[in-house]
């Protein structure tokens, strides 16, 4: 039966070029028959549908028949596949095969680190203005056959792959290719598969716009709008060119316009579960036919991901175990990492069980050759085996619109299949060969099994009979020869190309020295030659006496160990199985209540909370029967503290520095609800924050006003009804005084405070012009519509007063400048942020009606902060400015009450001082109708303090948001214990798994992830200041 | 130097001159004259720190030294009496780790930055000679009650010598209470932690670590060899040995006269540094000490004091207790480890020193210990407790009058004395505050 393997080489040569139908024949034609019948095979026709002993007939690369009782055509070559299985060829949904390699990327997060930054090559043709929009790049045009990569994929049973462009944000379109040999004309099965987008900051800080995740999302959003506009503009122009400005020709937008109009598939690469949700939102906003190329972390937000109803392609790069070999390394491992290591292999199974449509990919594996092993791991950890097969056969075929031709072994389909010697996803099973378009590709042909006992005759010693015994592994046998009653060990054994060779020491049987032997192995005979120690040649023959006995498998079947810990939100430290409950009624009894409202500070008073709202405040309130009662005797209760300037809970960079005006960029797009600082800030009584874009730009991104609902989804942090806002910035940062890429001053406009004024003014004017353009178009809609510009949309909102301007500033000149510009446009600045010289122009700020959100006392960290004074807040307050103290620093935001007490040094009353971190920031953010004071009807966001909140000796004991207890010192103590237990459980599990396996480095596993680079750095001293006081 | 080089040299320096930014205001407040006559502060609550709190007490000082403390003590004739009833008297607060005077404006004014010398081994540079008496941070620190600051250089592996500076005086010489209070050593990081922002591999890291550890060890063994050579040079047949400024500066450290202040936070750094200090037979003080509580038994056994830096800081690890840093001083104190508390090292924030100690009180440190941790304990660790750190007869009259508990943020420092000199309590912040109060007075038409 093995002989037919030797035909393979000749067959392959014969078939080469069979598809190059338009190419001229070079030399002689080749017409080797292409009709094959595979008999006695176990045929997996489709996932869940198996013929135990069947026949498959293919003709000219197409399946002609399949079944148990198929008549073998007379012209067929017959292949006996006894003991072997046939599977449909696997389909790889994401591959870089044949694609130009992307330039080297900088580290995640788009940080400043690293000397080499990606510079974009200028594009040819009608390219998009942004070098990261490469939607017109077509894999079909770029594809170059890559025999090595194809062979690697075939080794796992893949027969088709989606070749996917690798560069940019909009990466272009993919193509489906065969994984066989031949030219691109032979291999391209479908020139268009999907459009591709990568939701990640690419190229590093100096690579231009965008260089942040939120900038990337803004660019994606704007580009879809542009694509839509592009189609409409050209339609309008083509109908009536006369008198209209010709719209631009843009290859990328043209392609994307089709994607929208024809609902073509769009695949977005989402590098973690939060990016998944972000990608799904983009898909929904533009009605995209969306697929998501996932991260393997989807299980962490399973319900939310299921709710998006988006099909997902899952990588199998389960992380390696974090290093816990030494106590100091173990200390630095987070529970989040440990939990992910433990649970990641269950991602495919859990998603499938939840009803998410999944495909599996070998992309992201260090070695694509470990794909089947990783699938096996996923199956061991709960993925249904049929579902696993479907996820690489029928599912991708159906998504790609190729179900009629690929995905199953049914008559009429393309003859793409896999020959294995066992279950495809079982350890030890070999993929022996892969057939693509009816053409055979050898993968791994095991040699004849020579193991067993053989009777030997040797011409050099014709009277004696020897016994040759071979055992061990098929390809690396060991054994001995018994000859003249002596047992001689085989040395230097090799077994290759059908030839077995070995040496034996023959001292004990009469020939002093080493005898060398080799011979060709067939099923029942070995014909060999040899040389005696004295140089005399001889021949030998071995006849099989008995085959190798199946060695009993002593290894116990591996009991798959499932994830040890139940899911929590966020998925790690201080996570909970669900959000804290909202009791129907909560009664806080006998506290000193700082209402920060008209009632003032009340001693010995009760507060009743009903369904998350404050219901009553007064003495001796009666508790409803079901009320949760908190005895707060001796305690102080204040509203939850509000931080009017925060950068907590932002994924990756807080600055989109690629352009000076980035009003289209949205912090809400990149909220990270798992930032541990949320929990730590709750532990300090902070319940709400104004999350701002950084200060790199005169007009920066849009803000997000949030509550610290620890454990919630990103969008659930947002305070419903909070007026939207935007970050402005003035002074040193926007003129890039401290930013000298390559030792040269930045050339970005503006470089002076004069230019800052001009660029803001110009954008305001541009927004007015834009509004006018729209009104004009409303009058005659047959004309080319104005292009929807998300940046100008946001600025229009500012000019209408519906989007609050929060402007970073230091010096009095720039503060006054912005007031005057705003007044000229008839608008009001909502808050000046930092505003360290606000005390110098307090009357102007008051008259303008802006708020001031300042540091309590930071100064001297840069030259524009040199005149900052401790009395800034109080002095502005006395001049009638609405003042708040902010943090701009995640740690500082854990102790805002003490910041407020600094105002009390200047003779402000305690309540006035506390207003700096409660009611005043609430007013500045336009949320004082909901939070900021304890008044009937407002949200039950409150803090219970051990004593006077302005005393340094007091600490926060409980923090409530929406009538839910998000922090409690008692519960925290329990959680610490639980964290210790969970950490030790998982660290022990790593040690155990290392003892029982060769190592904890998993084949093809992924590197540990840095989910939150921002958290790693200890924010201290001056370094921190430069980073944070932007 | 060829012309080209000279040209570049001149251009380089002229560029520096162009970018040099002089502090914006020259202050009208000034150092005080020497104490002329005895002064008695009468009727206040005296926090002696070393002894009991004395209510309604009197403290008398003359010629810069405390001469008497007690209740109802007799006041010598010619004594200036100040009624401090309802007020509190404290010894001047001591910040044991700061860059005050060496770094005025971090960004945008490189000319005001003298924080780190070139190279990695600089044991000979002395902080006090570069402390700018005009620094606006000095009067601001005094307003926060901080009257003594151990200023130190940073950077490299051996940064130089710290000096205990008084926050009062016309010159740095006058301000210097004690030079060479410690030699700053920055312990290399010991545990590789992969970072998405760094291309560094584990191999690079280990190589760097090895090189840095070697450099520290070599500096000490070379200095010891130098010391041996210098000691021997008078002997018969032994030639004169040429001076080496670096190793010369380290002799007092090898003699045990000056401790090494080792900056280390992570547990393996701390243990490596302790072992090294023992092998080198040098006196070690741990600065930083984030993980110090994890090895408190060893710190106690080896009698290594801790200058615990920046209580108002973040836990280093995601899973750690949210209040871990806040409660670390209490953990060190209850273990019996000699410790003190400092701020975040930035001179501009030096005035917040008491807030750091107070923060530790909220998380378990007894109040009296918190006060000691910013007065007596830093004095002891810096080796200046014979002069300052507590209110005792014979010690410097370097003290504060406040309107309340110094550990409360709401408390104001009303008056400070340094060596009995009545400090001008104005500072840049108060001056600007008053200047703009005047603006608003004018605007309101008063």
Least-confidence region, from A392-401, A649-658, A680-689, A913-922: A649-658
- Give how far B78 is from chain A: nearest CA, Å: 35
Q: What integer pLDDT is reported at residue A25 of this predicted model?
A: 87
B106 touches chain A (CB under 8 A): yes
Between chain A and chain B, the number of residue pairs with CB atoms below 8 A apart is 193
pLDDT at A145 over 50: yes
- For A925, other C-beta atoms within 10 Å of its C-beta total 29
Whole-number Cα distances in Å, A237 to A125, A224, A255, A775 = 22, 20, 18, 19
Mean pLDDT over A68-88 rounds to 96
CA A593 to chain centre: 46
Contacts of B315 in chain A (CB under 8 A): 680
Mean pLDDT over A199-221 rounds to 87
- Give how far A355 is from chain B: nearest CA, Å: 33
Residue A441 CA to residue A436 CA, distance in Å, equals 8
pLDDT at A885 over 70: yes
**In this complex, which of B108, B199, B318 lies closest to A862 when CB atoms are compared?**
B108
**Contacting B residues, span 138-197, partner chain A, CB-CB under 8 Å:** 190-191, 193-197
- For A1021, other C-beta atoms within 10 Å of its C-beta total 18
**Contacting A residues, span 546-575, partner chain B, CB-CB under 8 Å:** 572-573
A1013 touches chain B (CB under 8 A): yes
Contact B115, B102 (CB under 8 A): yes
Minimal CA–CA distance to A694: which of A1029, A200, A275, A220?
Answer: A1029
Contact B253, B278 (CB under 8 A): no
Query: For a pLDDT cut of 90, what percent of chain A falls above it?
Result: 83
Mean pLDDT over B110-124 rounds to 96
Mutate to test the interface with A, among B107, B139, B323, B325 (most CBs of A within 10 A): B107
Nearest CA in chain B to A906: B410
Contact A205, A654 (CB under 8 A): no
∠ CA B239-B240-B241, nearest 5°, is 115
pLDDT tens for B329-365 read 999 999 999 999 999 999 999 999 999 999 999 999 9
Q: Do A952 and B358 touch (CB under 8 A)?
A: yes
Residues paired with A217 in a beta bridge: none
Q: Between the ranges A339-348, A987-996, B12-21, where is the mean pLDDT highest?
A: A339-348
CA B22 to chain centre: 25
Mutate to test the interface with A, among B194, B196, B324, B441 (most CBs of A within 10 A): B196
Question: Token pair for residue A595?
Answer: 């209402």
Q: What integer pLDDT is reported at residue A202 of this predicted model?
A: 66
pLDDT band of residue B24 (cuts 50, 70, 90) is very low
- Give how far B24 is from chain A: nearest CA, Å: 8
Residue A885 CA to residue A920 CA, distance in Å, equals 9
Mean pLDDT over A4-17 rounds to 44
Contacts of B268 in chain A (CB under 8 A): 328
Mean pLDDT over A998-1019 rounds to 45
Residue A905 CA to residue B410 CA, distance in Å, equals 5
Residue A874 CA to residue A904 CA, distance in Å, equals 8
Burial of A701 (0-12, 13-18, 19+ CB in 10 A): buried
Q: Do B362 and A954 touch (CB under 8 A)?
A: yes
Whole-number Cα distances in Å, A941 to A511, A933, A936 = 96, 9, 12
- Can you spell out the DSSP letters for B375-390? THHHHHHHT-TTTSSS
- Helix B245-254 / helix B202-232 crossing angle, nearest 10 deg: 80
Residue A940 CA to residue A961 CA, distance in Å, equals 6
**In this complex, which of B108, B191, B443 lies closest to A332 when CB atoms are compared?**
B191
Residues paired with A883 in a beta bridge: A852
pLDDT at A1006 over 60: no
Residue A143 CA to residue A184 CA, distance in Å, equals 7
- DSSP annotation of A69: S
B436 touches chain A (CB under 8 A): yes
Question: Token pair for residue A126?
Answer: 């009608």
Multiple choice CATH, B25-91+389-446, 2.30.40.10, 3.40.50.300, 1.10.230.10, 1.10.10.10:
2.30.40.10
Question: Token pair for residue A927?
Answer: 């949320």
Mean pLDDT over A196-209 rounds to 81
Contacts of A905 in chain B (CB under 8 A): 409-412
- Radius of gyration in angstroms for the set of CA atoms belonging to chain A, rounded to a whole number: 36
pLDDT tens for A469-516 read 999 888 889 999 998 889 999 999 999 888 999 999 999 988 899 999
Torsions phi, psi of A396, nearest 5? -60, -35
Place of tokens 């060596």: B419
Contact A348, A358 (CB under 8 A): yes
**In this complex, which of A114, A573, A866 lies closest to B105 when CB atoms are compared?**
A866
A334 touches chain B (CB under 8 A): yes
Contacts of A651 in chain B (CB under 8 A): none
Nearest CA in chain A to B25: A867
pLDDT at B298 over 80: yes
Residues 6+ apart with CB under 8 A from A989: A342, A561, A564
- Which ipTM did the prediction report? 0.93
∠ CA A733-A737-A741, nearest 5°, is 105
How high does pLDDT run on average in chain A?
91
A904 touches chain B (CB under 8 A): yes
Bridge-based pairing of strands A477-483 and A465-472 is antiparallel
In this predicted model, which residue has the larger pLDDT, A6 or A151? A151
CA B74 to chain centre: 37
Contacts of B266 in chain A (CB under 8 A): 328
pLDDT tens for A80-124 read 999 999 999 999 999 999 999 877 654 443 344 333 344 556 678
Place of tokens 């060779």: A501
Q: Quickly count helices (H) and strands (E) in chain B.
A: 12, 16
B429 touches chain A (CB under 8 A): yes
Residues paired with A439 in a beta bridge: A436
pLDDT band of residue B199 (cuts 50, 70, 90) is confident
Minimal CA–CA distance to A518: which of A533, A502, A531, A534?
Answer: A502
- For B349, other C-beta atoms within 10 Å of its C-beta total 29
Three-state SS at A299 = helix
- For A848, other C-beta atoms within 10 Å of its C-beta total 19
Q: What integer pLDDT is reported at residue A674 of this predicted model?
A: 96
Helix (H) or strand (E) holding A894: none
Q: Do A334 and B319 touch (CB under 8 A)?
A: yes
pLDDT at A161 over 90: yes
Contact A805, A830 (CB under 8 A): yes
Whole-number Cα distances in Å, A280 to A292, A530, A713, A980, B261 = 8, 70, 14, 36, 54
Place of tokens 């502060």: B41
Question: Token pair for residue B286?
Answer: 């741990």
Nearest CA in chain A to B24: A866
A325 touches chain B (CB under 8 A): no
Minimal CA–CA distance to B386: which of B1, B33, B66?
Answer: B66
Residue-wise burial string across A346-355, b where 16 or more C-beta atoms lie within 10 A, e elsewhere? bbbbbbbeee
Mutate to test the interface with B, among A105, A679, A866 (most CBs of B within 10 A): A866
Contacts of A331 in chain B (CB under 8 A): 267, 317
Q: Do B440 and A843 touch (CB under 8 A)?
A: yes
A111 touches chain B (CB under 8 A): yes
Residues 6+ apart with CB under 8 A from B64: B34, B35, B396, B397, B419, B420, B421
- Can you spell out the DSSP letters for A131-164? TTB-TT-BHHHH----HHHHHHHHTTTEEEEEE-
pLDDT band of residue A201 (cuts 50, 70, 90) is confident
A969 touches chain B (CB under 8 A): no
∠ CA A933-A934-A937, nearest 5°, is 105
**Contacting B residues, span 347-386, partner chain A, CB-CB under 8 Å:** 347-349, 351-352, 355, 358-359, 361-363, 367
CA B42 to chain centre: 31
Contacts of A1008 in chain B (CB under 8 A): 194
Minimal CA–CA distance to A831: which of A813, A818, A817?
Answer: A818
**In this complex, which of B137, B412, B436 lies closest to A905 when CB atoms are compared?**
B412
Domain residue limits, chain B: 25-91+389-446, 93-386
Residue A823 CA to residue A849 CA, distance in Å, equals 11
Residue A657 CA to residue A660 CA, distance in Å, equals 7
- Give how far B138 is from chain A: nearest CA, Å: 12
**Contacting B residues, span 250-289, partner chain A, CB-CB under 8 Å:** 265-268
Residue B399 CA to residue B402 CA, distance in Å, equals 10
CA A918 to chain centre: 37
Q: What integer pLDDT is reported at residue A746 of this predicted model?
A: 79
In the CATH scheme, what is the code of domain B93-386? 3.20.20.140
- DSSP annotation of A569: B
Q: Do B344 and A857 touch (CB under 8 A)?
A: no
Residue A832 CA to residue A290 CA, distance in Å, equals 41
Contacts of A952 in chain B (CB under 8 A): 355, 358-359, 361-362, 407-409
Least-confidence region, from A651-665, A676-690, B183-197, B370-384: B183-197
Contacts of A107 in chain B (CB under 8 A): 195-199
Q: What integer pLDDT is reported at residue A464 of this predicted model?
A: 83
**Contacting A residues, span 658-677, partner chain B, CB-CB under 8 Å:** 676
Question: Token pair for residue B98?
Answer: 């700061």
Question: Token pair for residue B209?
Answer: 């670590």
Q: What integer pLDDT is reported at residue A447 of this predicted model?
A: 84
Cis peptide before A47 (omega within 30 of 0): no
Q: Quickly count helices (H) and strands (E) in chain A.
A: 27, 44
- Give how far B342 is from chain A: nearest CA, Å: 12
Residue B397 CA to residue B417 CA, distance in Å, equals 7
Residues 6+ apart with CB under 8 A from A763: A661, A663, A699, A791, A792, A795
In this predicted model, which residue has the larger pLDDT, A115 or B198? B198
Q: What integer pLDDT is reported at residue A283 of this predicted model?
A: 98
A866 touches chain B (CB under 8 A): yes
**Contacting A residues, span 186-245, partner chain B, CB-CB under 8 Å:** none
Q: What integer pLDDT is reported at residue A741 of this predicted model?
A: 72
């Amino acid at each position: 039966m093995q002989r037919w393997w030797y035909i393979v080489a000749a067959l392959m040569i014969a078939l080469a070029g069979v598809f190059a139908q338009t190419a001229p024949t070079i030399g002689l034609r080749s017409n080797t028959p292409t009709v094959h019948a595979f008999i006695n095979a176990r045929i997996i026709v489709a996932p869940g549908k198996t013929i135990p002993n069947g026949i498959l007939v293919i003709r000219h690369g197409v399946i002609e028949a399949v079944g148990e009782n198929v008549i073998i055509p007379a012209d067929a070559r017959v292949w006996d596949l006894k003991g072997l299985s046939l599977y449909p060829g696997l389909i790889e949904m994401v591959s870089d095969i044949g694609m130009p390699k992307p330039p080297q990327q900088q580290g995640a997060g788009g940080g400043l680190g690293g000397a080499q930054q990606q510079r974009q090559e200028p594009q040819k043709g009608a390219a998009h203005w942004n070098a990261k929009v490469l939607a017109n790049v077509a894999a079909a045009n770029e594809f170059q056959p890559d025999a090595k990569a194809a062979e690697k994929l075939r080794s796992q049973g893949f027969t088709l792959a989606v070749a996917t462009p690798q560069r940019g944000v909009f990466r272009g379109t993919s193509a489906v290719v065969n994984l066989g040999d031949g030219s691109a004309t032979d291999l391209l099965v479908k020139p268009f598969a999907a459009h591709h987008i990568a939701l990640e900051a690419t190229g590093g800080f100096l690579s231009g716009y965008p260089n942040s995740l939120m900038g990337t999302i803004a660019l994606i959003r704007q580009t879809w709008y542009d694509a839509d506009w592009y189609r409409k503009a050209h339609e309008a122009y083509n109908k009536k060119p006369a008198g209209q400005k010709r719209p631009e020709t843009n290859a990328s937008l043209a392609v994307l316009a089709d994607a929208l109009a024809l609902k073509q598939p769009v695949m977005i690469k989402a590098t973690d579960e939060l990016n998944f949700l972000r990608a799904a939102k983009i898909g929904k906003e533009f009605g995209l036919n969306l697929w998501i190329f996932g991260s393997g972390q989807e299980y962490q937000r399973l319900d939310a991901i299921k709710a998006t109803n988006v099909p997902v392609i899952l990588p199998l790069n389960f992380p390696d175990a974090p290093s816990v070999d030494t106590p100091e390394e173990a200390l630095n491992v987070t529970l989040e990492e440990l939990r992910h290591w433990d649970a990641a292999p269950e991602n495919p199974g859990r998603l499938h069980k939840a009803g998410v449509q999944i495909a599996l990919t070998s992309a992201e594996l260090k070695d694509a050759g470990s794909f089947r092993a990783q699938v096996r791991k996923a199956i061991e950890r709960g993925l249904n085996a049929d579902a696993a097969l479907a996820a690489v056969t029928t599912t991708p075929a159906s998504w790609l619109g190729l179900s009629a031709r690929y995905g199953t072994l049914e008559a009429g389909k393309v003859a793409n299949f896999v020959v294995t010697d066992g279950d495809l996803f079982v350890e030890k099973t070999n993929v022996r060969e892969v057939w693509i378009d009816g053409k055979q590709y050898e993968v791994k042909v095991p040699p004849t099994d020579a193991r067993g006992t053989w009777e030997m005759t040797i011409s050099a010693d014709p009277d004696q009979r020897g016994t040759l015994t071979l055992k061990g592994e098929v390809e690396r046998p060991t054994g001995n020869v018994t000859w003249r009653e002596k047992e001689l060990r085989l040395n230097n054994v090799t077994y290759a190309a059908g030839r077995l060779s070995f040496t034996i020491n023959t001292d004990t049987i009469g020939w002093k020295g080493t005898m060398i032997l080799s011979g060709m192995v067939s099923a029942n005979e070995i014909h060999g030659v040899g040389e005696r120690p004295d140089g005399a040649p001889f021949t030998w023959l071995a006849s099989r006496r008995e085959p190798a006995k199946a060695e009993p498998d002593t290894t116990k079947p591996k009991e798959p160990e499932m994830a040890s810990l139940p899911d929590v939100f966020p998925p790690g430290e201080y996570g909970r199985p669900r959000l804290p409950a909202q009791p129907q009624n909560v009664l806080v009894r006998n506290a000193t209540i700082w209402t920060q409202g008209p009632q003032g500070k009340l001693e010995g008073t009760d507060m009743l909370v009903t369904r998350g709202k404050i219901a009553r405040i007064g003495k001796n309130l009666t508790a409803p029967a079901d009320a949760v009662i908190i005895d707060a005797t001796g305690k102080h209760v204040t509203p939850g503290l509000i931080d009017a300037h925060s950068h907590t809970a932002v994924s990756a960079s807080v600055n989109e520095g690629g352009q000076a005006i980035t009003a289209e960029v949205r912090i809400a797009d990149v909220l990270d609800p798992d930032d541990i600082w949320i929990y730590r800030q709750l532990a300090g009584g902070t319940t709400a924050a104004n999350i701002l874009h950084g200060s790199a730009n005169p007009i920066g991104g849009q803000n997000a006003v949030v509550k610290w609902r620890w454990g919630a989804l990103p969008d659930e942090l947002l305070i419903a009804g909070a007026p939207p806002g935007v970050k402005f910035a003035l002074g040193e940062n926007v003129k890039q005084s401290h930013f000298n890429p390559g030792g040269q001053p930045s050339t970005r406009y503006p470089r002076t405070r004069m230019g800052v004024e001009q660029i803001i003014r110009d954008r305001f004017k541009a927004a007015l012009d834009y509004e006018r353009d729209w009104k004009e178009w409303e009058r005659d809609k047959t004309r080319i519509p104005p292009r929807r510009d998300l940046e100008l949309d946001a600025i229009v909102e500012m000019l209408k007063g519906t989007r609050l301007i929060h402007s970073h500033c230091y010096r009095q000149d720039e503060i006054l400048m912005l007031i005057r510009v705003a007044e000229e446009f008839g608008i009001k600045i909502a808050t000046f942020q930092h505003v360290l010289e606000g005390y110098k122009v307090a009357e102007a700020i008051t008259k303008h009606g802006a708020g001031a959100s300042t540091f309590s006392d930071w100064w001297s960290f840069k030259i524009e902060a040199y005149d900052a004074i401790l009395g800034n807040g109080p002095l502005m307050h006395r001049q009638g400015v609405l003042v708040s103290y902010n943090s701009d620093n995640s740690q500082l935001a854990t102790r805002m009450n003490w910041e407020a007490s600094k105002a009390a040094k200047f003779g402000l009353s305690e309540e006035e001082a506390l207003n700096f971190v409660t009611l005043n920031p609430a007013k500045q953010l336009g949320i004082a109708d909901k939070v900021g004071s304890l008044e009937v009807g407002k949200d039950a966001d409150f803090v219970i303090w051990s004593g006077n909140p302005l005393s340094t000796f007091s600490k926060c004991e409980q923090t409530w948001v929406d009538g839910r207890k998000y922090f409690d010192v008692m519960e925290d103590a329990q959680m610490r214990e639980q964290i210790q237990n969970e950490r030790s459980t998982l660290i022990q599990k790593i040690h155990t798994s290392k003892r029982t396996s060769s190592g904890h480095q998993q084949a093809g596993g992924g590197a540990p992830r840095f989910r939150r680079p921002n958290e790693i750095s200890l924010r201290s001293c001056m370094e921190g200041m430069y980073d944070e006081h932007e | 130097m060829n012309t080209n080089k000279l040209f570049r040299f001149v251009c380089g320096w002229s560029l520096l001159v162009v970018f040099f930014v002089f502090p914006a205001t020259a202050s009208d407040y000034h150092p005080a004259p020497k104490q002329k006559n005895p002064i008695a502060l009468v009727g206040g609550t005296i926090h002696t720190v070393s002894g009991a709190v004395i209510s309604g007490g009197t403290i008398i000082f003359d010629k810069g030294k405390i001469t008497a403390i007690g209740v109802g003590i007799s006041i010598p004739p010619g004594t200036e009496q100040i009624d401090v009833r309802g007020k509190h008297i404290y010894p001047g607060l001591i910040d044991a780790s700061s860059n005050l005077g060496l770094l005025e404006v971090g960004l945008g004014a490189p000319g005001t930055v003298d924080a780190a010398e070139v190279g990695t081994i600089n044991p000979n540079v002395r902080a006090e000679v570069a402390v700018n008496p005009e620094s606006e941070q000095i009067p601001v620190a005094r307003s926060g009650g901080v009257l003594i600051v151990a200023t130190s250089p940073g950077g490299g592996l051996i940064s130089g010598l710290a000096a205990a500076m008084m926050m009062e005086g016309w010159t740095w010489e006058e301000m210097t209470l004690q030079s060479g209070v410690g030699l700053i050593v920055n312990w290399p990081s010991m545990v590789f932690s992969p970072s998405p922002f760094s291309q560094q591999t584990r191999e690079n890291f280990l190589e760097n670590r090895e090189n840095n550890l070697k450099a520290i060890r070599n500096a000490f063994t070379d200095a010891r060899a130098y010391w041996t050579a210098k000691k021997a040079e008078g002997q018969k047949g032994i030639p004169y040995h040429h001076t080496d400024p670096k190793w010369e500066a380290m002799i007092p450290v090898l003699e045990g006269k000056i401790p090494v202040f080792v900056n280390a936070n992570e547990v393996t750094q701390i243990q490596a540094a302790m072992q090294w200090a023992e092998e080198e037979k040098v006196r070690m003080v741990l600065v930083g000490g984030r993980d110090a509580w994890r090895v408190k038994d060893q710190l106690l056994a080896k009698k290594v004091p801790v200058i615990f830096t920046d209580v108002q800081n973040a836990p280093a690890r995601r899973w750690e207790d949210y209040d871990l840093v806040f409660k670390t001083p209490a953990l060190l104190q209850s273990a019996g480890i000699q410790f003190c508390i400092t701020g975040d090292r930035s001179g501009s924030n030096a005035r917040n020193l008491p807030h750091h100690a107070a923060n530790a009180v909220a998380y378990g440190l007894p109040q009296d210990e918190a006060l000691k941790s910013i007065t007596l304990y830093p004095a002891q660790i810096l080796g200046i407790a014979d002069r300052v750190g507590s209110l005792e007869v014979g010690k410097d009259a370097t003290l504060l009058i406040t309107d309340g508990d110094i550990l409360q943020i709401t408390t104001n420092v009303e008056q400070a004395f340094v060596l009995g000199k009545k400090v001008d309590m104005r500072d840049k912040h108060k001056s600007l505050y008053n200047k703009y109060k005047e603006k608003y007075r004018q605007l309101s038409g008063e």
